[in-house]
Amino acid sequence: MRNSIEFTVYGDYALFTDPLTKLGGEKLSYQVPTYQALKGIVESIYWKPTLTMFVDEVRIMKPIRMESKGIRPMDYGGGNTLANYTYLRDVAYQVRAYFEFNPHRPDLAYDRNEHKHHNIMKRSLHAGGRRDIFLGARECQAYVEPCEFGSGTGFYDNYGDIHLGTMVHGLNYPDETGRNQLEVRLWNPVMRDGNIQFIRPEQCTQVRTITDMMPKPFSAANVMSADELFEQLEGEVNQ
């Protein structure tokens, strides 16, 4: 499709935190990346509010290994808090993703140019992304490169099915759903021969509301054209 990309993302460590393990102040990673984490990587490659990113599939290229580390998390109370975080070690994933125009943002209809966005996205991928890439947590720096999905040898090729239990699929934001609330989605993925095919967010049946939230508006009141910005900066310099 003219709106899709395929890439590999890899790094020394990853932390796709199981939220159940955060209650005690320590973190344990899921065995595989969540839909939301991969969507965040796609949005770090290229994103605009005109677009909604979707992840089709992920392929686990390396064996699932974990490593625990003693971490001193930020403690604003001035204490000397210590915690154990369990990371995935030496990871690599192939990802297939695509974008659609966001139907809940009619104010951005003028920007719905598929050819433009797809070409910018491909150039951004070749450049390694427009923002920093990380795998689940900020300390887990990662790198992206274009690839042909399915190429190369993966550790779990012909491995069979692995049931991963109940996992977080992702978050529903109001500018993507039209509902003025933040929601979390759950699902029960199965990894087949190293591949996980994601269902679309609206297909998730286990959805829970977290809090009320309003989408950020984009209008003449808070968006300035390049010409207007240039005139403003020129005026400030002249003063």
Which residue range(s) make up the domain with 118? 4-233
Per-residue pLDDT in tens (0 to 9) along the chain, 239 residues: 589 999 999 999 999 999 988 877 789 999 999 999 999 999 999 999 899 999 999 999 999 999 999 888 777 776 777 889 999 999 999 999 999 999 988 888 888 999 999 999 999 999 999 999 999 999 999 999 999 999 999 999 999 999 999 999 999 999 888 889 999 999 999 999 999 999 999 999 999 999 999 887 766 666 667 777 778 788 787 77
User: What radius of gyration, in Å, describes the C-alpha atoms of the chain?
Assistant: 20
Contact 162, 190 (CB under 8 A): yes
CATH number of the CATH domain containing 198: 3.30.70.2660
Please tell me the pTM assigned to this model. 0.85
Q: Answer yes or no: is 107 within a domain.
A: yes
Q: Answer yes or no: is 238 within a domain.
A: no
The tally of domains found in the chain comes to 1
Q: Answer yes or no: is 33 within a domain.
A: yes
pLDDT value of position 1 = 59
Side-chain-side CA neighbours of 227 within 13 Å: the count stands at: 0
Q: Answer yes or no: is 88 within a domain.
A: yes
Secondary structure (3-state) at 168? strand
Q: What are phi and psi of 140, to 5 degrees?
A: -100, 80
Question: d(Cα 205, Cα 217) in Å, to the nearest integer?
Answer: 29
Contact 168, 179 (CB under 8 A): no
Q: Answer yes or no: is 74 within a domain.
A: yes
